[in-house]
Amino acid sequence: MSFASRLHPAPATPDEMAMSTDEVRARVRTSVESRTPVDDREIHAVEQFLEAYDRLVDPFEMDSDPVHVTGSGFVVGPRGVLLLKHKRLGIWLQPGGHIDSGETPWEASLRECREETGLDVRFTGPVDADGVPELIHVDVHAGGRGHTHLDLRYLIDGGDADPAPPEGESQEIDWFTWSDAIERADPGLSGALIALRTSCD
């Protein structure tokens, strides 16, 4: 069985999203609340996320509160998993970033992965009738400038091409085997990467 058929790639586009902000907010809370954490770090992250999320007036707007939701993606393919070296932090991470106005967290995740890798990416795995992909990991961490990121992570198919990030994005980006990625990446990613290696191999 091919890698692609195991992951069941399924595109999702903004046109498929017709939810109001309140509906998106409710869907996010439900998906986080129903997560089965992969390790102690994610157990704590889910607790932190829900506590912070419920008090935020606009959880998706980074200028509304120093604590806000972000979206990122684990870009996978036949060659393993894609990591990039963060330009400011100097650590190896998955692509991701802030949510633009009018976006959902999963749309932001896909856009950031496309922008930072230069690849034709798409969601993989289960996508529901509204085009919402499965949430595969939750993390809460410092984001710089006094920010705290409530990060929602999704599984994304990057195909088999070499990454081609545009000027302005990190140029230190590559495919890694799962073992190399676990060794190279920021320690905060290890639980997610170990769990993904099991499900994607």
Coil vs helix vs strand at 151: strand
Q: In angstroms, rounded to a whole number, what is the distance separating the alpha carbons of residues 93 and 186?
A: 6
Query: CATH homologous superfamily of domain 3-160+172-200?
Result: Nucleoside Triphosphate Pyrophosphohydrolase (3.90.79.10)
Banded model confidence at residue 18, pLDDT cuts 50, 70, 90 = low
DSSP H helical ranges for the chain:
3-7, 21-33, 40-53, 105-117, 178-184, 190-200
Give the distance from CA 19 to its chain's centroid.
20
Total number of residues shown for the chain: 201
Task: Name the token pair of 159.
Answer: 């195909």
Residue 168's pLDDT is 82
CB atoms within 10 A of CB 113: 27
pTM for this one? 0.89
Parse the chain into domains and list their residue ranges: 3-160+172-200
Q: Residue 84: which residues within 8 A CB-CB, separation 6 or more? A: 92, 93, 94, 95, 116, 117, 163, 165, 169, 170, 172, 173
Residue 189's pLDDT is 94
Per cent of the chain over pLDDT 90 is 77
Would you say the C-alpha torsion 74, 77, 79, 80 has a positive or negative sign?
positive
CB atoms within 10 A of CB 20: 8
Task: Name the token pair of 110.
Answer: 């896909």
Task: Name the token pair of 176.
Answer: 């890694």
Q: pLDDT: is 15 or 92 the higher one?
A: 92
Coil vs helix vs strand at 130: coil
For residues 176 and 184, is the Cβ–Cβ distance under 8 A?
Answer: yes
Q: In angstroms, rounded to a whole number, what is the distance separating the alpha carbons of residues 83 and 50?
A: 28
Average pLDDT over residues 161-179: 92
Compute the mean pLDDT over every residue in the chain, rounded to the nearest whole number: 90
